[in-house]
Amino acid sequence: MRDAKLREIDERAFLRRLDPMLDVYGAAMDPPPEQLPGRRTIMERHTAYPAFRAFVAERRGALARLPGPLHGFTYGFHGARGQWWHDVVFEALAARGGPEHAATWLNDAFEVAELHVRPDAQGRGLGRGLLTALCAGRPERTVVLSTLERRPDTPARRLYRSVGMVDLLTDFEFPGGGPRYAVMGGTLPLAAPLATGAPPQ
């Protein structure tokens, strides 16, 4: 969106924006309302993970330095043993292709924890802009994430494939039940977007 600006924020600014970020998360993911407090706790905890990095897409307020409505956000961090997602996915990848396969993807990985854009702001390049900004200049060798399975041609899956990411796990259920996910990974830096004919995300 032309009126939305991408901006990197630190941990304190991230925590101050938790409520509007959860609003974006809820609009994009449509989770049961009772899940949002737990998601908030997880996001708070993630700010203490190593090499945390976050970006928001927001419309500037009438006063130049005041943030306006939040259109989207993303964040990630360096994956490491002892982190729940990292350990669950490492075990699943090792079961699928052996410990070396899992290590190839996760021993030096940047983990994209969340990337969401409000539905009314999608299709205008914000998701791609957020992902590109988040991964730019990262020192890790790989980037990994999980995305709702739903179907193989969702806008999110097309976006991730367009920058060189591939499916590592499909139809994957994390411990505790819930929806199925695809786990995807790619090498850094991200590949130049492929021309797919699909609208930008």
Q: Percent of the chain beyond pLDDT 70?
A: 90
User: Which position among 25, 49, 75, 160 bears the catalytic label?
Assistant: 160
Average pLDDT of the chain is: 91
Please determine, for residue 64, whether its predicted confidence score (pLDDT) is greater than 50. Answer: no
**Is residue 56 within 8 Å of 121, Cβ to Cβ?**
no
Rg (CA), the chain: 16
Q: For residue 156, give the amino acid letter.
A: A
Longest Cα pair distance anywhere in the chain, in angstroms?
A: 55
Is 49 a residue of the active site?
Answer: no
For 87-105, the pLDDT digits (tens) are 999 999 999 999 999 999 9
146-187 tens-digit pLDDT: 999 877 788 999 999 999 999 999 999 999 988 999 999 999
Angstrom distance (rounded) from CA 96 to CA 194: 28
Class of residue 176 by CB neighbours under 10 A (exposed 0-12, middle 13-18, buried 19+): exposed
**Residues 17 and 9: beta-carbon distance below 8 Å:** yes
